[in-house]
Amino acid sequence: MPPVLALESVARRVVERLRAGGHTAYYAGGCVRDALLGGEPKDYDIATDAHPEQVQALFPRHEAVGAHFGVILVKEAGQQLEVATFRADGTYLDGRRPESVHFTTAEEDAARRDFTVNGMFLDPLADEGRGRVLDFVGGRADLDAKVIRAIGDPAARFAEDRLRLLRAVRFAARLGFEIEPATLSAIQAVAPEIRVVSPERIREELVRIFTAPTRVAGWDWLDRSGLMREVLPELETLKGVEQPPQFHPEGDVFVHTRLVLSHLPPEKVSVPLAFGALLHDIGKPGTMTVHPEEDGRIRFSGHEHVGAIMAERVMRRLRFSNEEIERTVEAVRMHMAFKDVPRMRTAKLKRFMARPGFGDELALHRADCLGSHAMLDNHAFLLAKEEEFANAPLIPTPLVNGGDLIALGWKPGPKFKEVLEAALNRQLEGGFAGREDALAWLRGQSEK
């Protein structure tokens, strides 16, 4: 098997082969932006004047993923790169894709891209291999100014592809840039039209925004742009929902949820943790009650259960996987249970901590506390218990099982499960010296 080369080395090799075949070829788009910002591009796209059939002839190992649009997936030295012919787009009929394309020049290709910072090319072979940027759209100036600006007329760019509305938010958040005023105004003007984009594509953008370390900036841009009320209206309803100040001095539920996001781990986080944080209190508006007899105290009784139902609807609407839905809904449903952990019996506590999503839920609990009353007593308690229980499985192999009950003459039924559950609880509490002790207890149960 040939060795796998570093991605940039493969990209340079692909450009060299296209050049040797008599064609123009450059790095294009995000990899140029990231390199100019001093980062390491995660992928390399190559733009060329070679037509798809010419690319296919030069690279026998390829896949014609979008030959109609001039895109060929080249497989080289263990890597895959998209090689696209310079193109201009025809009419956009569905707010997502052009009806047709025609092949053209690099300058025209740059003009049909979304944002100036994504519209540059890099010739990696120029200047003795040091590389030279080709900038037809003012991208380099906007990189220096830290600005996301649509190429050309913002309204036209967003009319072509409505997904660009969310991409503007994602790039602004990820890069720590501002959205240029005319571009932001154009987003705000057509924000409701994001709904023409498929739920799957909206989900992908939201996942990138909220699992990233820059998730709070993403929240703020979604709010400022008007896109939040279109893609996550359940969050918009949290505005103005006041909370008891003794537990929530920070303000309303919208402010609280933003703070919770800010206190998640600073690195990239899982979908259940990010969306658990986003959705953990969405049941509060529908469960809010004010009690005059308690000096106007506000309560949200059962909001975690209402919120779990709502969270499932949100996640299904956005086409998340069943596993992501189950874990997120569980995080929402269980987030209030953390207040009770010091009073749990050992067996119940071990079962609580042994659940698959407990690690994410513990991180959510910490963020929830820091985003409100800032009391971390229960978080510290659970960290201590994790250390205490670390030397053995939280849920060990049961000392007795159904076969033991059958041997004692039991018939499977409701009592069968109840006794085995009681035996495991007793085992978790340290109530058995070993299997013989557990069997003796089981015989005692059969005699009752």
pLDDT score recorded for residue 69: 78
Predicted TM-score (pTM) of the model is 0.91
Question: How far apart, in whole angstroms, are the C-alpha atoms of residue 217 and residue 219?
Answer: 5
Residue 395 phi/psi, 5-degree rounding, is -115, 95
Question: How far apart, in whole angstroms, are the C-alpha atoms of residue 107 and residue 440?
Answer: 84
Q: Average pLDDT per run of 10 along the chain, which is 448 residues long?
A: 69 96 96 94 94 94 80 90 88 63 91 96 91 96 98 95 97 98 98 96 98 98 98 98 91 97 97 98 96 87 98 98 98 98 96 97 98 96 96 92 90 88 92 92 78
For residue 442, which of 398, 396, 408 has the smallest C-alpha distance? 408
Tokens 């990138």 found at:
208
Instruction: Rounding to the nearest 10 degrees, give the CA dihedral for residues 304, 209, 151, 93.
Output: -60
What's the CATH number of domain 232-388, 1.10.3210, 1.10.3470, 2.40.128, 1.10.150?
1.10.3210
| Biggest CA-to-CA distance, the chain | 91
In sequence order, what DSSP letters do the residues of 342-398 get, joined into one string?
GGS-HHHHHHHHHSTTHHHHHHHHHHHHHTTT---HHHHHHHHHHHHTTTS-SSPPP
pLDDT score recorded for residue 268: 96
Burial of 105 (0-12, 13-18, 19+ CB in 10 A): middle
Side-chain-side CA neighbours of residue 436 (13 Å): 0
**CATH code of the domain made up of 1-145:** 3.30.460.10
For residue 364, which of 391, 410, 332 has the smallest C-alpha distance? 332
In sequence order, what DSSP letters do the residues of 87-154 get, joined into one string?
EEE--BSSSSSBS-EEE--HHHHHHTSSBGGGS-EEETTHHHHT-EEE-SSSHHHHHHHTEE-BSS-H
Strand partners, 225: none
pLDDT score recorded for residue 67: 63
pLDDT score recorded for residue 1: 42
Q: Domain limits of the chain?
A: 1-145, 152-231, 232-388, 402-446
pLDDT score recorded for residue 96: 60
Instruction: Give the type of residue at 172.
Output: A
Asked if 47 contacts 121 with a C-beta cutoff of 8 angstroms, the reply is: yes
In CATH, the architecture of 152-231 is: Orthogonal Bundle (1.10)
With the C-alpha atoms ordered 389, 390, 392, 395, is the resulting torsion angle positive or negative? Answer: positive
Tokens 């009784």 found at:
301
